[in-house]
Chains A and B, each alone.
Chain A
């Protein structure tokens, strides 16, 4: 650890990736995350890093460069924003199918279509339910602060290696563009990183059988078997990787459920509510997949008057909240769209209407 430094969100994630041992970045510029590739373009060639930065011709090419780099077993990163992440979906499915480790950052902006360049959370469905074809899952983290984003970036690389699976950091435009003091971890020892030599494409050196990495199997019996193995792995991830934060939840009668920067704003709202005598708390999922269903369901008891989901979307995560609550308590929603960020007062006013 080297003390706190003031950085921008996209740059914090970039530096964290380098600290985690990522030496391969492929990406295509798109607002509001272009500072991330720009940072990598400066940083990767530096002597202490000695990595690769390559600006791809499209997000489609970038994600396939990641596919190729991941085939060699090395840590690689790409970052994009919503329309760009849509373009990557075909190959996300290939990466998941071929069980390749790689880390993705989606700094979400307002949609649909070209939308705008302001913060949003409208890509939750795409991130957590699979934007590409086939039965696959990504491990998805939704950080609320830059420090958490740094820590989750490092974790993302570790988990990608552990599960041989793509991992997604779902950040909204607020997180990408804000500045905060951050403490970075030390540089990882590259020699000690997982080499993946049991499966990766590194050349046989005529000493072993050739490795084949693919999501392809023309035989349905074989392909079902491959799918069953994937599902087994996803079940393992569901068992081990759930993360969430509970804030002032001990005696809460109103549970505000939010993630990312809105999860952070929700904490102010809970405080405002408590000042008015309403026992509010915040349940903040940190892993959006696997979603902490059971942990949230625990609060669906008779003392709880209301689950209040707040998102910068038309209501996407609320479907998972309802799945957790299973009709035992009322679940209400407040959201803004199109890049509009709700203020704490606005959310508080809505909450007061509901209680």
Chain B
């Protein structure tokens, strides 16, 4: 048996090694976002906004012009970029702490303006970078370093459902919740991300894909156990599906 072709990484990723922990899904999500950018042929005109959190380094991993926003403000930064350069493709890459806690105002308002930007929202129900504190999406009963007895709704409220909140907003052109636990999931998620970019490219409106993700390090589980935990717990709390699609069929 001879191998005629080796797998090549997408052009829109730099050769820099990821800083993510083993079993974390950021790496997979980065790759498929980069593949989408390659396939759409927009690498040369894409601008990206990284958040604060584990994916703060993402501006170094994507081989496109990029910056790091103050914590939670990526949608406002992306708005300024897109308004300055409507001919560019602008995306933000944000975690649950960044987008759904400190940045709740900015994401809702950017969505409501129908800002022609795309947001990749990675939800792993915990703060990774700061060491495993409660996130707005932390599940009820889930133990974190700031909910050592488990998240108690009487004290900390309930996990916030970002996609369910955003689906009510008229300016949203594409919105889906997905996961990347299996190769099938990865392929499907890639198509959803492509649609979220098409919402921008076709000038329809704001696009967001929420990707349920693992955090083995701060969940205190092995990568394999984390996948199982995600399937058994997170998908129940955060139902998968396409919530808004005004983009229509794409080729």
Of the candidates A68, A207, A210, which one forms a contact with B64 in the assembled complex, judged by CB atoms under 8 Å apart?
Answer: A210
Binary A-proximity of B117-135 (CB < 8 A = 1, otherwise 0): 0000000000000000000
Of the candidates A69, A71, A206, which one forms a contact with B44 in the assembled complex, judged by CB atoms under 8 Å apart?
Answer: A206
A67 CA / B88 CA spacing, docked (Å): 16
Return chain B residues, CB-CB under 8 Å to A54. Answer: 79, 83
Interface check A212, CB cutoff 8 A: yes
In the complex, the answer to whether B47 meets A52 with C-beta atoms within 8 Å is no
In the complex, the answer to whether A64 meets B43 with C-beta atoms within 8 Å is no
Return chain A residues, CB-CB under 8 Å to B47. Answer: 71-72, 201-203
In the complex, the answer to whether B85 meets A202 with C-beta atoms within 8 Å is yes
In the complex, the answer to whether B59 meets A214 with C-beta atoms within 8 Å is yes
A274 CA / B47 CA spacing, docked (Å): 62
In the complex, the answer to whether B65 meets A216 with C-beta atoms within 8 Å is no
B143 CB → nearest A CB, Å:
28
Binary A-proximity of B14-50 (CB < 8 A = 1, otherwise 0): 1000000000000000000000000000011111010
Residue of B nearest to A72 (CB): B84
A199 CA / B59 CA spacing, docked (Å): 15
In the complex, the answer to whether B88 meets A203 with C-beta atoms within 8 Å is yes
Of the candidates A57, A61, A216, which one forms a contact with B68 in the assembled complex, judged by CB atoms under 8 Å apart?
Answer: A216
In the complex, the answer to whether B56 meets A216 with C-beta atoms within 8 Å is yes
Residue of B nearest to A90 (CB): B70
Return chain A residues, CB-CB under 8 Å to B59. Answer: 212, 214
A70 CA / B47 CA spacing, docked (Å): 13
A207 CA / B45 CA spacing, docked (Å): 11
Residue of A nearest to B60 (CB): A212
In the complex, the answer to whether B73 meets A60 with C-beta atoms within 8 Å is yes
Of the candidates B14, B65, B77, B84, which one forms a contact with A52 in the assembled complex, judged by CB atoms under 8 Å apart?
Answer: B84
A71 CA / B82 CA spacing, docked (Å): 11
Binary A-proximity of B95-126 (CB < 8 A = 1, otherwise 0): 00000000001100100000000000000000
Return chain A residues, CB-CB under 8 Å to B79. Answer: 54, 61, 65, 68
Return chain A residues, CB-CB under 8 Å to B77. Answer: 64-65, 67-68, 71
Interface check A2, CB cutoff 8 A: no
Interface check B163, CB cutoff 8 A: no
B177 CB → nearest A CB, Å:
25
In the complex, the answer to whether B63 meets A64 with C-beta atoms within 8 Å is no
Interface check A98, CB cutoff 8 A: yes
Return chain A residues, CB-CB under 8 Å to B82. Answer: 68
In the complex, the answer to whether A207 meets B65 with C-beta atoms within 8 Å is no
Interface check A307, CB cutoff 8 A: no
Which of B45, B73, B80 has its CB near the most chain A CB atoms (within 10 A)? B80
In the complex, the answer to whether B109 meets A61 with C-beta atoms within 8 Å is yes
Of the candidates B49, B60, B62, which one forms a contact with A68 in the assembled complex, judged by CB atoms under 8 Å apart?
Answer: B49
In the complex, the answer to whether A201 meets B67 with C-beta atoms within 8 Å is yes
A74 CA / B56 CA spacing, docked (Å): 25
B8 CB → nearest A CB, Å:
17
Return chain B residues, CB-CB under 8 Å to A216. Answer: 56, 68
Interface check A162, CB cutoff 8 A: no
Interface check A249, CB cutoff 8 A: no
Residues of A within 8 A of B (CB): 24, 26, 52, 54, 56-58, 60-62, 64-72, 74, 76, 90-91, 94, 98, 201-207, 210-216
Could you show 14 A-B contacts with beta carbons less than 8 Å apart? A62-B76, A64-B77, A68-B76, A68-B79, A68-B80, A68-B83, A69-B81, A72-B88, A201-B47, A201-B67, A202-B65, A203-B65, A210-B63, A212-B60
